[in-house]
Structures are given as C-alpha cells and as structure tokens.
C-alpha cells in the first residue's frame, strides 16, 4: 500500500483510539511510530503497533494515563509517565524542559514508570531545532550481559545527542549500546530472515544468526567491554537517577505478559551559549563544514531526515501484510 504520512498517522491513531487509548495519546504514539517508519527505523515503527495494542488490551500499558511533571529543583523535572506510553511524556518533557534550560543554562528531566522510548533522535532533535543541545538516555528490558557474563542484566540502553548548526539542519546521534537495536532482531524474526552473526549471542553465549535464539539469548555490546561499561552508565542515569526499574526488573516490550515495564528515561538540555556568550551554533557549523570537506563523510542524522523529507513529499510504501495486521486491530 502507498499512503501519505498524514493518512497513515490518522489510520494508526484510529486503531489506538478503537482500543481505548485517549485521542491525544493515540495521536502522539501514531506520530512517533509513523515518523520512525519514515526515517527508515522499521524496528521502532509500524511493526510495534501489534505489541502496543496487545499491551493496552491487557493493561500492561495504560492508554488513558496522563503524564505529570514536577519541578523538584530549579533545573530538574521529575515526570511520572504513570505506566502509560512514553511519547506523550516526551512531548511534555520537550515542552517544559526547553524554557527551563534557557533560564538555567542547563536542565534535566527524569521520566519514570515509562515505556518504550522509540527513536530517541526524534526527541533530541526537537531541542536542537530550538537552538539547544540535548542528550537522552533510556534503559530497556534486559537483553545484554555485563562484559564476561551470559545473563541479561542491561538493556540495549540507547544514547542520543543533538546539537544545533547555524543555517543548517541539526547534527543528531542516536545509537544503541548493543551492536544493533533489539528492534532490528524483532523485525528479522517477524520477516523470518537470518541476522548477521555478530549481532547477538544465544543462551550459551555463542554467536547466532537465528533471531529466535538471539531473542532468547543476549545482544552483543558495541565495542565489546566499552559498550558494556557505557550500558551501566545509561542504567544508572535512566533507572537509578529517575526512580525507574532497572532493566533486569522490567517486563518485555514485545508481548502483553506481566506488569508494566516501568522503564526510565533521562534528558539533559543545554543552552549552548550559556558558557560562551554566543556563537556556538556558528562554531558547530564550522566543524560540520570541515567534516563535509572529505568525500564519503556523512554527517550523523542527515540520512534519516532526508528519508523523512522524501516520505513527507511522496508518502510511504507499506507491506500489505503489515497493514492487514494493523487493520485487524
């Protein structure tokens, strides 16, 4: 099926509303999933609809939850997601954290009792588009072992970072601390295709190309011991500092079994001119220009934004099987 982004958003939002999700939340979730799909991140896109709806139906996610922000310190927000979807809470974080960062120079928001954070580039870039620097950290249900171990203790625990660039698009970094995001393994499982042998380990700690075995085992950390160490850092920030569950305590995001995952996210927003007095975005533009002088260098985040522009102009082609499964909901 070939469909415009606006029509696809409306269709997906309608599915969530039909399953008891409030209109505002349904729209927020739909926009996040469709934008992820448009950016080429299918593991965080439409293939999540089935699991999300199943979790709403079982009560694992509260489709009527309303996030609430409390300012606990001059530059700190604590946001209770109330076992709802993360996307409305992230919308709230962007709305309230940006002016706070301009006022204080730097500010942070900690989200707890949260859910899947999706493509975090889409959150941090919203700060950069307002002239701010942003960092985001999120934990996820356990899928990665500490270095040398076989038992999943950390999630894929992604990190995202965005900076404004004068007279140009922001530079955005978004990466999981596993070799790949677990959503890519889930997408391979749904398609019935093999995965590369360096993505994951089976339950015995051996490399595997079988996505079923990978989902029962552990994800391989990016950069080996360094990635595993960074996963601990993200766990500390997004779970311990936010008051959320640790990855090993959280239930799966892929099924409707068990209690709410109650994950955490931690965002930091910075006024880039707070220390310099001005001109930071122009300096970053200089750096971006130098990066672009060498043939083959690709600025982080530009490919996904390019794909989204094309999709906004031309629409998306979605597999009939995926649309049929969504329509059945």
Domain ranges in the chain? 65-178+221-275
- For 134, the token pair is 């942003």
User: Helix axis angle, 320-327 relative to 5-18, nearest 10°?
Assistant: 30
- Per the prediction, the chain carries an average pLDDT of 95
* Contact yes or no for 282/167 (Cβ under 8 A): no
- Does the model's pTM come out above 0.85? yes
Q: Which parts of 154-224 fold into alpha helices (H)?
A: 182-191, 211-216
Q: What is the pLDDT of residue 149?
A: 87
Per-residue pLDDT, 184: 82
d(Cα 151, Cα 298) in Å, to the nearest integer?
36
DSSP 167: T
SS3 state of residue 131: coil
Instruction: Write out 216-281 in H/E/C secondary structure.
Output: HCEECECCCHHHHHHHHHHHHHHHHCCCCCCHHHCCCCCCCCCCCCCEEEEEEEECCCCCCCCCHH
- How far is 119 from 160, CA to CA, in rounded Å? 9
Q: Which element (helix H / strand E) includes 87? A: helix 86-104
Q: Which of 48, 90, 67 is nearest to 252 (CA)?
A: 48
Residue 138: is its pLDDT beyond 90?
Answer: yes
Are residues 229 and 147 in contact, defined by beta-carbon separation less than 8 angstroms?
yes
Nearest to 62 by CA among 31, 29, 35: 29
CA dihedral 219, 222, 225, 229 (to 10 degrees): -90
pLDDT at 204 over 90: no
Q: How many CB atoms lie within 10 A of CB 97?
A: 25
Domain 65-178+221-275 part of CATH 3.30.1370.60: yes
Phi then psi dihedrals of residue 46, to 5 deg? -65, -25
SS3 171: strand
Is pLDDT above 80 for 279? yes
- Side by side, which strands form the sheet with 133-138? 68-73, 76-80, 106-114, 263-270, 133-138, 159-163, 171-175
**190: pLDDT strictly greater than 90:** no
pLDDT digits (tens, 9 = 90+) for 298-323: 999 999 999 999 999 999 999 999 99
Inter-residue contact 234 to 177 (CB < 8 Å): yes
CA distance 56 to 21: 8
Q: How far apart are CA 212 and CA 317, in angstroms?
A: 27
Q: Which residue has the higher pLDDT, 180 or 162?
A: 162
133 forms bridges with which residues in the sheet? 270
Q: Are 2 and 66 in contact (CB under 8 A)?
A: no
One DSSP character per residue, 34-74 reads HHHHHTT-GGGTGGGHHHHHHHHHHTSS-TT---EEEEEET
pLDDT, tens digit, 9 for 90 and up, residues 15-72: 999 999 999 999 999 999 999 999 999 889 999 999 999 999 999 999 999 999 999 9
How far apart CA 189 and CA 325 sit, in angstroms, is 16
**Do the beta carbons of residue 269 and residue 106 sit within 8 Å?**
yes
């Amino acid at each position: 099926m070939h469909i415009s982004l606006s029509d696809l958003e409306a269709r997906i939002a309608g599915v969530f509303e039909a399953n008891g999700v409030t209109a505002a939340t349904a729209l927020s979730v739909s926009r996040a999933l469709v934008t992820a799909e448009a950016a080429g991140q299918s593991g965080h896109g439409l293939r999540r609809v089935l699991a999300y709806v199943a979790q709403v139906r079982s009560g694992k996610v509260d489709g009527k939850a309303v996030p609430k922000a409390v300012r606990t310190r001059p530059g700190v927000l604590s946001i209770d997601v109330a076992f709802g979807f993360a996307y409305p809470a992230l919308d709230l974080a962007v709305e309230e954290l940006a002016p706070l960062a301009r006022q204080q120079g730097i500010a942070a928001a900690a989200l707890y009792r949260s859910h899947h954070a999706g493509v975090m580039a889409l959150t941090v870039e919203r700060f950069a588009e307002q002239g701010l620097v942003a960092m985001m950290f999120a934990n996820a249900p356990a899928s990665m072992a500490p270095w040398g171990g076989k038992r999943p203790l950390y999630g894929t625990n992604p990190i995202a970072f965005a900076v404004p660039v004068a007279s140009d698009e922001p530079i955005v970094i978004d990466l999981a601390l596993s070799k790949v995001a677990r959503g890519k393994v889930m997408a391979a499982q749904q398609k019935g295709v093999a995965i590369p042998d360096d993505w994951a380990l089976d339950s015995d700690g051996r490399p595997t190309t079988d996505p079923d075995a990978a989902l029962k085992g552990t994800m391989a950390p990016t950069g080996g011991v360094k990635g595993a160490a960074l996963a601990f850092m993200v766990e500390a920030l997004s779970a311990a500092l936010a008051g959320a569950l640790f990855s090993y305590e959280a239930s799966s995001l892929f099924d409707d079994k068990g209690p709410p995952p109650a994950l955490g996210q931690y965002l930091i927003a910075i006024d880039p001119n707070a220390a310099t007095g001005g001109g930071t975005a122009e300096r970053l533009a200089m750096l971006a220009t130098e990066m672009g002088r060498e043939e083959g260098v690709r600025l982080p985040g530009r490919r996904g934004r390019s794909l989204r522009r094309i999709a906004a102009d031309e629409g998306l082609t979605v597999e009939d099987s995926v649309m049929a499964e969504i329509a059945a909901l």
